Amino acid sequence: MTAQLLDGNALGQKLRAGFKQKAEELAAQGTRPGLAVILVGGDQASQVYVRNKVNACAQAGIHSEKYSYDDDVAPQVVLDKIAALNADPKIHGILVQLPLPKHFDADAVLEAIAPEKDVDGFRAENVGALVQGQACFIPCTPYGVMKFFEEAGVNLKGKEAVVVGRSNIVGKPMAMLLMHAGATVTVCHSQTRDLKGHCQRADILVAAIGKPKMITCDMIKPGAVVIDVGINRQPDGKLCGDVDFDSAKDVASFITPVPGGVGPMTITMLLANTLESAERFAST
């Protein structure tokens, strides 16, 4: 068996095809969609992510503003900028690139973003609302993963899903979305007892743990759908995911690559959420 590739670049471009027209329609009605991105520190990966997001905005006809700060910036400076952006009618979405420097309380920074502008879906209010299916914005990465299932025609009802990774950014929202779609979900972490056994039962396996190639082929149920959210830089500079792709592709039915899988879809759904936010502002 050779797994079918879930190509995030291709699906992202397909979904983005109508974004520019929607942005132009909103602009013609007096609301030009706007996204503000805040970057703190000189982390190279974060700089790449932010650059990709800004470029994607330009291609989609979305106005973007980037605010960069040094590593040693006082947290209050960033909080004051968020407050100003919350009040700025030209901005419909605010994104703070993670991770933040250690002297920041990341939760406090994310919670400072107005709920109606939390297009990354990271606020606890949004994550918690997923339980009732009433989130203002679905977190972008899990949202993009669900689009993969939709595109591939994967029926989640009655399936056994395992999410390896418990973060509020990916793990918990992913579990909620899978449950809403009818799957039975187990959430694990790197120290879960018999992690291998849990993974081997999974029809749907989502790896979001941040450990390079931790999920090996002997942990994967034959024919499972494998989603690799991880992105890790190896000693040779190349990127890899949390799944050992080269061996896993011979066991899974569908699999996402790293890079080119979940990453482009995360950006795509960020654009979608920003457009949705602008539409809400236009209708008020």
Catalytic entry in 53, 147, 172, 221: 53
Q: Is 167 marked within a binding site?
A: yes
Say how many C-beta atoms besides its own lie within 10 A of residue 247's C-beta: 14
CATH H-level superfamily of 31-115: Leucine Dehydrogenase, chain A, domain 1 (3.40.50.10860)
As assigned by CATH, the class of the 140-263 domain is alpha beta
Q: Is the dihedral of CA 151, 208, 127, 49 positive or negative?
A: negative
Question: Is 234 one of the annotated active-site residues of the chain?
Answer: no
Per-residue confidence (pLDDT) for residue 134, from 0 to 100: 74
pTM of the model: 0.94
Q: Is 231 marked within a binding site?
A: yes
Per-residue confidence (pLDDT) for residue 1, from 0 to 100: 67
Please check whether residue 220 is in contact with residue 200, taking contact to mean a CB–CB distance below 8 angstroms. Answer: yes
Selection from 134, 132, 97, 95 nearest residue 117 by Cα: 95
At 37, which helix (H) or strand (E)? strand 34-40
Q: Is 166 marked within a binding site?
A: yes
pLDDT tens by residue, 117-164: 999 998 878 777 777 777 679 999 999 999 999 999 999 999 999 999
Successive 10-residue mean pLDDT values, the chain, 284 residues: 93 95 96 98 88 96 97 98 98 96 95 95 80 81 97 97 88 92 95 96 96 96 97 89 97 97 97 97 89
Buried b (16+ CB within 10 A) or exposed e, 12-22: beebbeebeeb
Helix locations, 130-194, DSSP H: 140-152, 171-180
Question: Is 120 one of the annotated active-site residues of the chain?
Answer: yes
Per-residue confidence (pLDDT) for residue 277, from 0 to 100: 97
Question: Is 218 one of the annotated active-site residues of the chain?
Answer: no
The structural domains of the chain, with segments of one domain joined by +, span: 31-115, 140-263
Catalytic entry in 7, 22, 81, 97: 97
Tokens 């743990």 identify what position?
A: 209
| Structural tokens at position 271 | 């654009």
Q: Is 123 marked within a binding site?
A: no
Torsion angles phi and psi, residue 263, rounded to 5: -55, -55
| The two domains 31-115 and 140-263 share their CATH topology (first three levels equal) | yes
Catalytic entry in 7, 81, 118, 120: 120
At 270, which helix (H) or strand (E)? helix 262-283
State in Å, rounded, how far the first CA of the chain is from the last one.
Answer: 52
